[in-house]
Structure 1
Amino acid sequence: MKKFASLVSFTLLGACANLGSQPPVPVTSPVVQAFRDICLQTAPSFAEAHSVARQHGVSEVTDMGFATIGFNADKSLGIQVKAGHECVVTSEVQEDATLTRQLLTAAAVSAGTTVPSRVPVKMMIAGQQFILMHDRKGGEAFVMLKPE
C-alpha cells in the first residue's frame, strides 16, 4: 500500500512539475553518472541495468521478488531495478547542491529536450513516459519510474 501511495504521489506531482527550463550543467557527480549509465541509458526495459551497474562496482544483485537490488563493496552506491517499470540509484549523502540539476541535465540529454527546472518531472525517454525524482532525505535517491 505504501508503494502504491508513493506511485500515485509521484504521478500527480510529475504531471505539473515541468514548468520552464534551465541551462544544462556538467554531469560530474559519480552517482549521477551511475544513474545516467544504469537507468537512463538502459531505459525503457532496464534489461541491461545490472550489467552496466557492474561497471560502477555493483558486483552482485539479489532478487527480492518485487525488484532486484544490489550494492557496491562499501555500500556507498546501491541500485533497485524492476524491469520495465523502475530504476533507482542510491548513495550516501553528497555535499553537492547541483545534484538535482545534474540529474535533470542527464535526463534532458537522454530525452533530447530542454533541461526541466525541477523534479519530479515527466519526460519521454526512449519513446516512453517516465517520472524522474531526486530525494535527498537520508542520502541520495535518483528515481526513474514508469507511470501506470
Structure 2
Amino acid sequence: MKKLALLVSCSLLGACANLGSQPPVPVTSPLVQAFRDICLQTAPSFAEAHRVARQHGITEMTDMGFATVGFNADKSLGIQVKVSHECVVTGESQQDDTLTSQMLSAAAVNAGTTVPRKAPVKMVIAGQRFILMHDRQDGEAFVMLKPD
C-alpha cells in the first residue's frame, strides 16, 4: 500500500511540474516562420527586421513615424516594427489550430526555455523581457512587445 501511495504521489508531482509547459511543436506555418525570422531572431533591437522581411517578400515598407510597416506584393503578409520596442507579423486567417503552439515553440528555442502552454506569455529573449501574443481576430497577428 505504501508503494502504491508513493507511486501515485510521484506521478502527481510529475504531472504538476509540467503544467506550465508543453512539448515543442514543429514550425511548419510560413507565417510563424516569418515571425521567427523577422522578430524572434532579430530581437532585442529588431534593427535587422527590415532586411530579413525582404527575404520573406516584404518589399513595400513605409516609415509611419511611430513604426515602419510593410507588406508583400499581395498583402498576405505584413509587418510592423518599432525598433527596440515591438515587432509584429500579420497574415490572413488560417484554419490551423497549432499556430499559437508553433509560435510558442519558436519563441522557446530563442529563449532557451521550455515551451509555454498558452499566450500571452512573458519570456526573456536575448537577455531582455518580452510579451508574446497571438491575436486571431480579423486575421493572424503574432506580436512581440517589450513591456514598459
Q: Which bin holds the TM-score, normalised by the shorter protein?
A: 0.7 to 0.9
The percent of aligned pairs where both chains have the same amino acid is 82
How far apart in 1 are the matches of 2:118 and 2:51? 30
Whose relative contact order is higher, 1 or 2, with alpha carbons under 8 Å and at least 6 apart?
A: 1
State the partner residue of 1:113: 113
> TM-score, normalization: structure 2?
0.87
Q: Helix, strand or coil for the counterpart of 2:34?
A: helix
How far apart in 1 are the matches of 2:28 and 2:55? 17
What is the CA deviation profile of residues 69-88 of structure 1, one whole-angstrom value per residue up to 9, with x for unaligned ones?
00000000000000000000
State the partner residue of 1:43: 43
State the partner residue of 2:13: none
| Amino acid in structure 1 at the alignment position of 2:127 | G
Return the index of the structure with the highest Cα Rg.
2
Alpha-carbon distance, 1:35 to partner = 0.1
State the partner residue of 1:142: 142
Q: Helix, strand or coil for the counterpart of 1:105?
A: helix
Q: Helix, strand or coil for the counterpart of 2:37?
A: helix
What is the CA deviation profile of residues 49-108 of structure 1, one whole-angstrom value per residue up to 9, with x for unaligned ones?
000000000012100010000000000000000000000000000111100000000000
Unaligned runs of 5+ in 2: 1-18
Question: RMSD of the alignment, in Å?
Answer: 0.7
State the partner residue of 1:70: 70
How far apart in 2 are the matches of 1:60 and 1:136? 24
Q: Helix, strand or coil for the counterpart of 2:51?
A: helix
- Structure 1: 4+ residue segments shifted above 2 A: none
For 1:76-115, what aligned pairs fall within 5 Å after superposition?
76-115=76-115
How far apart in 2 are the matches of 1:131 and 1:43? 12
Q: Helix, strand or coil for the counterpart of 2:59?
A: strand
Unaligned runs of 5+ in 1: 1-18
How far apart in 1 are the matches of 2:74 and 2:60? 12
How far apart in 2 are the matches of 1:40 and 1:135? 17
How far apart in 2 are the matches of 1:129 and 1:44? 9
> TM-score, normalization: structure 1?
0.87
How far apart in 2 are the matches of 1:66 and 1:82? 7
